[in-house]
Structure 1
């Protein structure tokens, strides 16, 4: 029989079943990026640049870029696209997202504002009805000669390929962290509050080289970097 003292401490501490499990932290994977390394030539300049990051928000990226003297704007467009108010129907009855409403609340900047845009893998996970309108808007808000970095999966990537949050470590290294469901709300620069991503993001499509070239047909130049992890990196100039 347990002593009163033992019973007291058992009650005070609680059983193992009463202790909440520690939150699971998504593991970060290291990845070398040739596209980022190439972009680094632009980032290493004497005058401050205006940078737009449209991937999942990364404090590491903000810290890294501001330490170089650059001004950073961040918009999580995948989270913004999960807003249920964007749901609409096309003329042929298919479900789509309202691109006009989306662009009325996001990417609201003057023409020619940005020197650099970090797209990461947004295009692969974005609803198809928003992809072309988003890149058309990005073309408008970039300065002539500005650079845009984007990642695209190759045909070897399976439909379950996870969507990552990218953290810049140094001039050529990234840390990748899987984006899971989240309930946190996000506020767009327009002031609109977007709900968090309510489900794991799924790969929507795989762009081949011709599709990518067509997506950036209004840009001045495009350069491809093929990596070993079923990802094609693209650096384009406005």
Structure 2
């Protein structure tokens, strides 16, 4: 699912406001600057992200332009377009992967934190950036559903800093990408950590975070497509 189309004049208004902010073009990728000039779907995504499930307001176009500037600068600073894990990535990183569709036909990003290696956090962060940038449907500005498979994940396996980074990526550095996040079988011991992390979320984003237990996940993902890490029949899962 992509952001709803916006009128050409609204898209151009946002572009003009961004151009006024982006005086030093060396801070951004040329390819990003070229894309924003012509891709109304991309501009729509930035505007939808500002509205965050709320009624539109006059300042939304200002905030959308500011976010484009911030995201584009961040992308260049973090060499997003230069990352390439397409050839033989570190096996440990592949606890995050796209597989299957949810009940609405949206691509699903599965994450198995049980196998997360804290010593490779920076590499995990870069790999996550690359996955999102190269996700199915990225060119069409599609959204994704995220599943955090937390069965057997306790306090010793929980990495708060990475979880914060994970949330921040979808809150501040991607535009309207996360359709919803399914948190599957979170242990009650992690409630305190979740309270710390949830303060990063806007009210609209909080509505997209859904806690599910056991087969409740079938309400969001067809049963046949639920992976073994969440108790489903699809045997695919991360192998260390």
TM superposition score normalised by structure 1:
0.31
Which of the pair has more CA radius of gyration?
Answer: 1
Q: Which structure has greater helix proportion?
A: 2
Higher RCO (C-alpha 8 Å, min separation 6): 1
Q: Which structure has greater strand proportion?
A: 1
TM superposition score normalised by structure 2:
0.31
